[in-house]
A and B are shown apart, each in its own frame.
Chain A
């Protein structure tokens, strides 16, 4: 199954770090992941189960750690939004391996973004995702894809705004792709 990507490059966007003041007046820092695993675990323990999508993030401490170990790796790209020393948002690019050795197919990365409920709709999500795409481009990643629940209009609108186009139209999940370079 081959994915379809737009002809136009998304952005290009500036990589992190970034500083911003969100719509609620909070000072937010966006930085690449650096040994911040415990902060991420805390963030996901606070994550509203209502905001889960397609089975992630998991809910228990153990499952969260196991899941983070598979997505926060050297081969991927991870960006965190911080407020007052706490992680409040996380965006990730995870390599889509074609083989079990994890060496083939590194040019396509799956994207996901998570923002704690009280920090949503405050402008953090679009800064976080564009910072992630900027970091991905800096890492010479060419193509990024994602799936989103079709009814999640807010998320679909965000992805379209930053340069994703629908690439496959299943009935429940929409697949979208973006080209970074």
Chain B
């Protein structure tokens, strides 16, 4: 499958990176990683891209990493449609001190707007 993973630097996005790489290795997926501007997290996009490239290379996958500028959700959906990805993968949210699942703003936008299937990694 032709998979597009979006990461913006939040904790759940790093978890999604690890799990999606594991899954791609098992399933033989073609994996592309998009670096997103997440208004709720700080990491520098270039650092994030480097981290993703290293993780992909370490796993023996092609380091296909793109930095998307602008509104993260819409850029990711647009990129997936333009490049013919069949699945968008995102971090599935963080948990509050009480343990409530809190979905990020990017995931909310993508769920409501994507025309391809979306996986949220928990």
* List of A residues within 8 angstroms of B109 by Cβ: 171
CB < 8 Å neighbour of B98 from A1, A110, A171, A173:
A110
Given known A1-B40, A173-B102, contact A95–B108 (CB-CB < 8 A): no
Give chain A's interface residue range (CB within 8 Å of chain B): 20 to 34
As a 0/1 sequence over residues 38 to 73 of chain A, the CB contacts with chain B under 8 angstroms (1 = contact) are 000000000000000111101000000001001100
Does A127 sit within 8 A of B, measured CB to CB?
Answer: no
Given known A170-B105, A171-B108, A172-B108, contact A56–B40 (CB-CB < 8 A): no
* Residues B93-117 near A (CB distance < 8 A): 95-103, 105, 108-109, 112
Question: How many chain B residues touch A (Cβ–Cβ < 8 Å)?
Answer: 14
Chain A interface residues toward B at CB < 8 A = 1, 53-56, 58, 67, 70-71, 92, 94-97, 110, 112, 147, 170-173
* List of A residues within 8 angstroms of B96 by Cβ: 54, 96, 110, 147
Contacts between chains A and B (CB distance < 8 A), count:
46
Q: Please state if A67 and B100 are interface contacts (CB–CB under 8 Å).
A: no
Q: Please state if A94 and B97 are interface contacts (CB–CB under 8 Å).
A: yes
* Residues B62-105 near A (CB distance < 8 A): 95-103, 105
CB < 8 Å neighbour of B100 from A1, A56, A97, A170:
A56
CB-nearest residue of chain A relative to B95?
Answer: A55
**Which of B99, B109, B112: most chain A CB closer than 10 A?**
B99
Q: Please state if B100 and A147 are interface contacts (CB–CB under 8 Å).
A: yes
- 4 new A-B contacts at CB < 8 Å, known A1-B40, A110-B96, A147-B102: A96-B97, A97-B97, A112-B98, A171-B112
Per the bound structure, the CA–CA distance linking A103 and B14 in Å amounts to 26
